[in-house]
Every structure is written in C-alpha cells, then in structure tokens.
Amino acid sequence: MMAKSKIALLSKTKIANITHNYGLDKLEQFTAIEQGRQSSNYLIKTKNGKFLMKPFNETMINSAKLEYILGLYKFLCENGIKTSYPIKNKHKEFVYVNGRAKIAILTFVEGAGASKQNLNLLKMCGSQLGKIDRVLLRAPFLGFKFDGGPIEFVEKMMKKHPINDDVVNNEFSMLKRKFMSLKSNKLSISIIHGDPKLSAFIFKKGRFNGVIDFGAARKDYTLMDPAFLIFRLKLYEKKNLPKLHAFVSAYSKSCGLNDKEIKLLPIFVRAANLVEFYFNYYALCEDPKKLNANRRATKKSVEFKSFIKNFDDRIVTRSIKSALRKNTLHVYVGGPSGSGKTTLARFFAKRGINAVDGDLKIGKWLTRSGRKIYSPSNIGKNINKWASERNLRWVCDEQKVKALLKSHKGMQLYLFGGPRPKNLDDFDRILYLKVNKSILLNRILKRLNDKNSYHKNGESEKQRREILDGLNKKYNDAKRSGYELVDGSGSTGQIYKRIMRLLDRR
C-alpha cells in the first residue's frame, strides 16, 4: 500500500530526453515539485508551453491502473471538466518507461490551490465537484471492480493489521451495520475523484481554473467524494454549518444524484473519517520506522476520536435537508415585537440553517435629519433608552440587505425581523408570525428577564401599548402586503415545523 522509497530525482539531461520523446520543443526550464509519498513531479517549460511531468512508482500503481487514470484525465477534458490533459509520446502512448518508474506528461493547470474557506469558495467547490461526479457517472469502468465501498476497504486493512482500540472497532461495527442496510437503496456507484481536498481546486487571479489530483480515482459510492471534502474541511462542526449548507446546496444542483441519496451524506462522512484514520494506521504498521508515517498516524488518531466525540448526525442531517430545499431560497420572517423572531433565528441556526437576526445585521440608527449614528459598543440592553433620549429612528439599511442576499446567492437564507426592508420582492417568500395579545405580552415580560436578550423593548407601559394596540390591524395589513401568516403560538420547535410545512406546500 505504500512505496518503499521515492523515485530518485531526474537529471536535466534525462528530462530533456523524455520531453523530446513526447515531441516537445527544447527544454527551457524545469522545477521539481514535491508531491506526497510517491515521487516528485516536475513543472517543465518549453516553447510549446508549460507541462507537468509525473513519475509513477510501479510499487504504487500498476500499468493498467495508470493507463486508466491518464485516460480518465482525457475523458474529463473531453466532457467539459477543466483539468490536465495527457499527451501521447512518439509511440502514441501516454506512458514513458524509465527503469522502475513510469512517466507521463500532462498539460499544466496554472494557478494555486484554494486555501482559505469562505461561503463563495465552498459554493464553487460544491458546484465543480458536483459537475465532476455527474460526468464520472458516465465514465467507463474498463474492468475496474467495485470492492464493496469504504467499509470493505477498511475491513481488508483490519484483517492484516487489526487494532486494539474499542472506539475504532465500535465505529467500524456500527458503520458496517449501517452500510449493510443501505445496500437496498440502490446507491449510485461510479468512478470517483477519490481524493478531493481544497488544494485540488486551482485558481488563477481569483478565478477558478481547474481541478487536479485524480491519481486516487476508483470505483466507489459517488457520495464518497463530497463526504471526504466535508470531512477534511470539518464542515460538520457547528461553527461551519453555514459552509456545509453552501457546499451541499451547490453540489446537489450539479451532481446528478437525487435528494434521497444526498440525505445519506452524514453516514458517508463518518465512513470518510474511518477510512482516513485506518489508511494512516495501516501505513504505520507497514513501515513502523518511518517518522512521517508515525506522525501522521498519531495526528489522525487524535482527529478520529475528536470527530467521534463532536459529530452530531441529527444537526448535520438537518442542515443537509435544509440545503436541499431548492425552490425556496430567501425567506423573510416578520412579526410584532415579542413574537419570537430572535429565538427562531437562534433555533434555525442551531440546526445548521443559514438564519440571520435582522436587528443585528440590517438595522441602522438615524437622526431626524437623516444622519447615521452608531450606538456605543457597551450600551447593552439600554439601547432603546439611549435611542429614545436622542430621538433616533431605527430603519433598514437597504445596502446591507442587498449585500446579505448577494452573499447568499443560490443558497438558502432566513432573515428574521429587524426593520422591514423596502423591497420585499427580493425574497422568495415573506412570512409573518401571528400571536395573540396574552401570549405576546407574556413573551415581552419574559424577554425583559432574559440574559441573552440584547434590548428592553416593551419595558415601559407605553412601549407595550404601542406593540399590542391594533394587533389585528397589523396582521390584516401584513396579509394585504403579501405576507403568509404563520401561527406563532406554542413552542419554538412547533413554530419551526409550521414554517417548514408551509414552505414545502408551494
């Protein structure tokens, strides 16, 4: 499974001979690029342009697999995927044999791998990986067998190098049972990228320029590709759920898989964690004296157990299901003060749904003359008193709304409350929480004692009258304005279910 040693660096003369064999003009420049455990790649420059020379160690990959991988690059390019294109040599072959090494030359994808995560980057990665997997669903297998998927892969390693660790063995047993029950679901099996990571997505001058590193391509469950990326980028963590939402939403639109299948992603993410750990443990057992293998295995052991401890199937599943609600992307939820908008925003966010509290994101204070004024950073719950003393108006910052919707283009977003935006037509659905006077009053009084509340609106009798008076008229006006009324009574969980049922009806 691991090479005994790397291929020795090639001399300039040897590289020049190889490029000549491929019909390329005189070698002008070459640079060795360290690439993992197998060998060093070379960036070579000739008058024909830039190319990537890839030596392959025969102990790592057999001739049939190598020919298939290079053919796969060609297949992807011919089907609209931006990646390296393999070049044939003078003998009309992809591979040049150099001792125990086999060498291939491919076109060079210029740019650098993605590094920092943000929502737009993850949307792009999801969309591109989805396109790749959709194309690979049509890729010929050419005799490659399906070995049963990730669990069977781990089981083979376990038979040779078992581990005395209850956490690992229990996770394996649980996943084996899960995957046995999944086999009746007719899951998609195809050639997959096999090793998706952020650095495989190449950018040039801020624009996507291609995907690389198909060396681990194999026949497997299609869902293993997105599962590996979700696992490696830790998109399953609570703080990263908006990123998970962005990635899955983009992937689902371009991958060619149905929603029922994509909803099974959490179990595949768990499988990716097990594969990543056991592959490195196996490598250590094969060569225990190798320092790098020891370090990797130790690191993966810590990451594996941290994942088991922190991974919450329910929250990840909810976030994925939310991302698959394709027909409704941007939802505005209004309602009178005290109707529970802030509580709902927190409730939605905990379920991995992109939810924003409007009071915190889209509001601004204006003087009567229209001048914007900022509240003190330490004002806390006294903000209403501070604003009243200065005769300030709390209005919607329309530019912030536009920026918020733009940053969530193609993604689901729930905006709860805040000063009402002028152009509600920018939202796919607008909802209004309807609550009777007694419940509303109880919630206002409860909010005044809530440590998590950031204001005291309704503290005075006058403020409470302003909120409660003419409540039915407010509801009727909201309905005439195009809002869909939602029963806001009951628990937060009950209101959440009512909103989801309402959105699913159209």
Dump the DSSP string for 178-221.
HHHHHGGG---EEEE-S---GGGEEEETTEEEEE---TT-EEEE
Q: Which residues pair with 220 in a beta bridge?
A: 190
Q: According to the model, what pLDDT value does residue 328 have?
A: 62
Distance CA 272, CA 260 (A): 20
Confidence of residue 200 (pLDDT cuts 50, 70, 90): very high
CA-based nearest residue to 328, from 242, 413, 425, 431: 413
Distance CA 434, CA 212 (A): 53
Phi, psi of 33 (to 5 degrees): -120, 115
Has residue 254 got a pLDDT over 60?
A: yes
Consecutive H or E run containing 138: none
Query: How confident is the model over 142-183, as pLDDT tens digits?
Result: 667 777 899 999 999 999 999 999 999 999 999 999 998 886
Distance CA 467, CA 331 (A): 24
With the CA atoms of 196, 202, 208 and 211 taken in that order, what torsion angle do they form, in degrees rounded to the nearest 10?
Answer: -50
What integer is the mean pLDDT of 235-262?
A: 87
Q: According to the model, what pLDDT value does residue 184 have?
A: 61
Q: According to the model, what pLDDT value does residue 2 have?
A: 36
- Tell whether the torsion through CA atoms of 371, 377, 382 and 383 is positive or negative: positive
CA-based nearest residue to 299, from 329, 277, 321: 277
What integer is the mean pLDDT of 17-40?
A: 77
Has residue 457 got a pLDDT over 90?
A: no
Given a contact cutoff of 8 angstroms between Cβ atoms, the answer to whether 317 and 266 are in contact is yes
Q: Which residues lie closer than 8 Å to 214 by C-beta, 6 or more apart? A: 69, 72, 73, 76, 83, 193, 194, 195
Record the tokens describing residue 162, joined without a space: 């078992």
Given a contact cutoff of 8 angstroms between Cβ atoms, the answer to whether 444 and 467 are in contact is yes
Confidence of residue 37 (pLDDT cuts 50, 70, 90): very low
Query: Sheet containing 413-416: which strands, arranged edge to edge?
Result: 355-357, 413-416, 330-334, 429-434, 484-487
Q: According to the model, what pLDDT value does residue 426 have?
A: 84
Query: What pTM was estimated for this model as a whole?
Result: 0.70
Pairwise pLDDT comparison (464 vs 227), residue with the higher score: 227
Has residue 325 got a pLDDT over 80?
A: no
Percentage, residues of the chain above pLDDT 70 = 91
Question: Checking phi first, is residue 49 left (phi over 0); if not, alpha (psi -120 to 50) or beta?
Answer: left
CA angle 135-136-139, nearest 5°?
105
Q: Which residues pair with 218 in a beta bridge?
A: 192
Ordered by where they begin, the domains of the chain are 12-107 (3.30.200.20), 114-323 (3.90.1200.10), 330-504 (3.40.50.300)
Distance CA 342, CA 456 (A): 13
Given a contact cutoff of 8 angstroms between Cβ atoms, the answer to whether 237 and 273 are in contact is no
What integer is the mean pLDDT of 25-31?
A: 87
Record the tokens describing residue 77, joined without a space: 């390019």
Q: Can you spell out the DSSP letters for 38-60? A: TEEEEEEEETTEEEEEEEEETTT
Pairwise pLDDT comparison (88 vs 378), residue with the higher score: 88
By mean pLDDT, which of 258-267, 324-333, 481-490 is the weakest? Answer: 324-333
Distance CA 170, CA 151 (A): 13
Confidence of residue 76 (pLDDT cuts 50, 70, 90): very high
What integer is the mean pLDDT of 196-212?
A: 92
Q: According to the model, what pLDDT value does residue 186 have?
A: 78
- Report the interhelical angle of 150-160 vs 166-182 (nearest 10°): 140
Distance CA 227, CA 111 (A): 26
